Amino acid sequence: YVQPTHQCMLGHLRSRAFEHFKKGLENSFNKGEPFVVIDTAIQQTNWDPTKVREKLRRDIEAHATSKQLSEALIEPVESLLDVFGRDTWASIRRLLRCETESALPKFSTSLSGFELDQATYNGMVLDLRQFARSLVEKKAKEEAGKVLIRIHDNDSMPRVWTGKEDIRKITKDARATSLKILFVMAALRLEDKSDKIENVLFSSLMDGIVSVPGSQQSSVGISTYPLASNIWEEVSPKDVLITPVQCKFLWRHFKTETKYTMTQAISSQVCYFFRTIVLLFGCIEAISYHQRCNNVKERGHRTCC
């Protein structure tokens, strides 16, 4: 019964030491404090805690590499999703591949000091690759939760209207840009595979008929049926960030919220037009008054002569 208890204690101390390392308490580990009690308490046995020490060192090496990967991936992925475009996911794939391949040689070197069988080594390398991928997936899911804010920020209609702008065209262009953001954020694309999400979104939401809550329109046009689903065609369910149904809901919400902005823009344009007319008539009246005054002066001058 003593040896299992001893191994359990070793495992407990290894876990505790690893947690201390992650919190920055490396000094305690470097002094060997977690192992002093064990080494001295069971001197009459030949049980060697070396394997536990090595496991702890491997955990520390893996943790250090994972921290480096986190720093190399999280912020750049967020920046790439901010500057959306057709090549957004291609850029993210390149970034993931480059940073993972860059971390692997250092990680392999750190593992070379341990007596690892090939299966264990391959498993740790695979874990590192999966960890890097999980970082990108987590960040993408986080950013997908902010998609409504993103499409609002990119609905960039001018705030000052001169009466010359084509508001409908500006609105259409702004909404097209917002739909592209929705397309980029709808699914993970860490494999180089094509999908039909962009076509479905544009045909259903830009050109189709989507009723707005509170309006008298209750029917949804036939082109919106592809959005009555929780999966995207040709996209694995595990890669879905925003479902078709959620896209339709978000778009309705977006249109409802921006309808007021559009109405205000049209009203401002009309007001600007009428102000221009009033100013024009004012100028005409001022010119006419000035002309009449000049005529009166000329007649008075002739009478005096």
The pLDDT tens digits of the residues spanning 185-236 come to 999 999 999 999 999 999 999 854 444 444 444 344 444 478 988 999 989 9
Helix (H) or strand (E) holding 156: none
pLDDT bin (cut points 50, 70, 90) of residue 153 is: low
DSSP 97-139: HHHHHHHHHHHHHHHTTS---HHHHHHHHHHHHHHHHHHHHHH
Mean per-residue pLDDT, 123-132: 89
Is residue 10's pLDDT more than 90?
Answer: no
Judged by average pLDDT, the poorest of 128-132, 183-187, 265-269 is: 265-269
CB atoms within 10 A of CB 19: 10
Do the Cβ atoms of 147 and 52 come closer than 8 Å?
no
Q: Is 240 helix (H, G, I), strand (E, B) or coil?
A: strand
pTM beyond 0.75: the answer is no
Q: What is the pLDDT of residues 82-97, one digit of tens each?
A: 888 889 999 999 999 9
- pLDDT of 159: 58
| Mean pLDDT for the stretch of residues 251-265 | 78
For residue 213, the model assigns a pLDDT of 40
Q: Which tokens hold the place of 34?
A: 């977690």
Question: Please, what is the Cα angle at 104 between 112 and 140, to 5 degrees?
Answer: 145
Q: SS3 of 187, please?
A: strand
Report, as an integer, the average pLDDT of 260-279: 64
128 has a pLDDT exceeding 60:
yes
CB 155 within 8 A of CB 55: no
Residue 214 has a pLDDT of 42
Q: What was the pLDDT predicted at 174?
A: 84
**Higher pLDDT among residues 142 and 14, named by residue:** 142
Query: Among 30-34, 126-130, 224-228, 298-302, which stretch is predicted with the lowest mean pLDDT?
Result: 30-34
pLDDT, residue 217, reads 42
User: How far, in Å, CA of 125 to CA of 119, rounded?
Assistant: 10
Task: Encode 73-101: b = buried (16+ Cβ within 10 Å), e = exposed.
Answer: beebbeebbeebeeebbebbbebbeebbe
Domain residue ranges in the chain? 2-148, 155-297
Cα separations in angstroms, 26 against 23, 53, 179: 8, 14, 49
Nearest C-alpha neighbor of 178 from the set 88, 264, 251, 260: 251
Average pLDDT value for residue range 149-171: 68
pLDDT confidence band for 118 (50 / 70 / 90): confident
